[in-house]
Structure 1
């Protein structure tokens, strides 16, 4: 061994270059706190960060608070509610055909209908019957909002409001719907129903009167939907006529050639076209008799005339005969 080798062995190879290590010379410091207080501070910071994330997520979730799922359904799985008020004729009129063409153009309804789940896994229609029917007959999936928390009264109210905002039901359809709700006990009275729905009690009463018209009068029109609200009072009066008089009015309505609702109504009210009558000789009016209406009473006044008891009786009989003939009022027993 040389002197150099012996010196290096004794000095532990001091000063001799060591081979480069395969590991990097510098390492990242471990940031994990080593002391108890440091670990507590780090844990506290983590909790603060997590709380911020939770609050952010809650804020995003609140944007969807009360939102209901909307998805496309097979229209065959959606069934009419017991409160449905649309007559079948509502799915054949020009307005429905226009709606159907728009739905065809978009491949389905854009505005969702509303449904609620049934126990059998299918759905009950709340509103949107015309949109649903258009999708059904054209084999389109129907876009529907699903609401699981509706009571029977909720279903009726939402259907009522939605229908009036879109295509108002006819007087007859509206009356049928109101009568069904009252019969089922959804409301104890017409007043209570009108208050919740947001319509007048007179509107509810007139609608129900339209639905209560005798079938023979309703059938005089081409569709129950032809009956208009302003006509209901007059049609109700017609139903009280003598059967022979009413039968003649119905015959006149049936014979109307141009069958518009207004012309059918006019024929029923004897305002339709008549066969020409022989002109009557003009009569002179003395001006001594005047007739006026006050409330539900019609008054006949004979001016400057004093009638005997016998003449008064005769006049009363003449007026009574006139009322029976013109209005079909039956004499009291």
Structure 2
């Protein structure tokens, strides 16, 4: 399947794509679709590259009980592997619950796709169903970037999210492992995690958020305090050494950007610093720089 066609189809959303499963695909799409069938449950296995790693015990138990009473309503979407068994593209939670319910077979829909498309579908399904935590979502995006040369704009179009959402989510991967584990187990929300990205001591602030039950707004205020104190101290020191022309240029740039700009320079060059207070402001700066 060529890259443009894949992204166009996937950009319509998983629900539309799954709805196409009962319609034979055109030969140009290089993808075969077969009728629904049942497969022995032991012949179906999860995709080891699925970004989703955690499954809530309570949700699994509820689904298991439902399957015992009503069976599996929605088939598991799979692809055929070289050994004749099947790898799950979408529906791993249903497959896990079916195992718990003691089913010998599961209904499947076969979609023969590449590794790249299988990963795209897994991410899209989980994101649209809100099944991924923020760290798993970021790891899934990073997989597509590393393995299939996606840009952040491509991801936004395929996943159905804004480019800024993709960029802000990917920044969560910069957090320390311990902090990311708190997001994974639900101790920290995605909003808290985004606040921690710009904190001077993300691990320390994460502990305070969990111990004191801080809101996202409270966490944002604490994250900004040290940076503001350091900035004020540096600005007072630099202001004493700057000439009138430098100060005037700082004001001109600050007025143009709507953000605080600081300039330092010497015989071997200098620095321009733009102060932002939120990831949205950083995203705006990046957009402006990329247009030139």
Give the deviation of 1:123 after TM superposition.
Answer: 1.2
Equivalent positions of 1:170-249 (< 5 A) are 170-184=133-147, 186-219=148-181, 221=182, 223-238=184-199, 241=200, 248-249=204-205
The alignment's C-alpha RMSD in Å is: 3.4
State how far apart, in whole Å, the 2-side matches of 1:100 and 1:142 are.
13
Question: Any conservation in 1 of the 2:77–2:108 contact (CA below 8 Å)?
Answer: yes
Q: Which residue matches 2:68? A: 104
The DSSP-based 3-state class of the residue aligned with 1:145 is strand
Give the deviation of 1:70 after TM superposition.
Answer: 1.6
State how far apart, in whole Å, the 1-side matches of 2:211 and 2:174 are.
24
Larger Rg: 1
Compare the two structures and name the one with the higher helix fraction: 2
Q: Structure 2 regions of 5+ residues with no counterpart?
A: 1-21, 26-32, 224-254, 263-292
Aligned residues: 202
Q: Which residue matches 1:116? A: 79
Equivalent positions of 1:272-311 (< 5 A) are 295-297=258-260
Q: Structure 1 regions of 5+ residues with no counterpart?
A: 1-62, 272-292, 300-333
The DSSP-based 3-state class of the residue aligned with 2:47 is coil
Normalised by the size of structure 1, how large is the TM-score?
0.51
Equivalent positions of 1:55-74 (< 5 A) are 65-66=24-25, 68-74=34-40
Equivalent positions of 1:139-178 (< 5 A) are 139-140=102-103, 141-147=105-111, 149-178=112-141
Equivalent positions of 1:9-24 (< 5 A) are none
1:131 to 78, 91, 94: 94
Equivalent positions of 1:20-31 (< 5 A) are none
The DSSP-based 3-state class of the residue aligned with 2:107 is strand
Higher relative contact order, chain-length normalized (CA < 8 Å, sep 6+): 2
Normalised by the size of structure 2, how large is the TM-score?
0.57
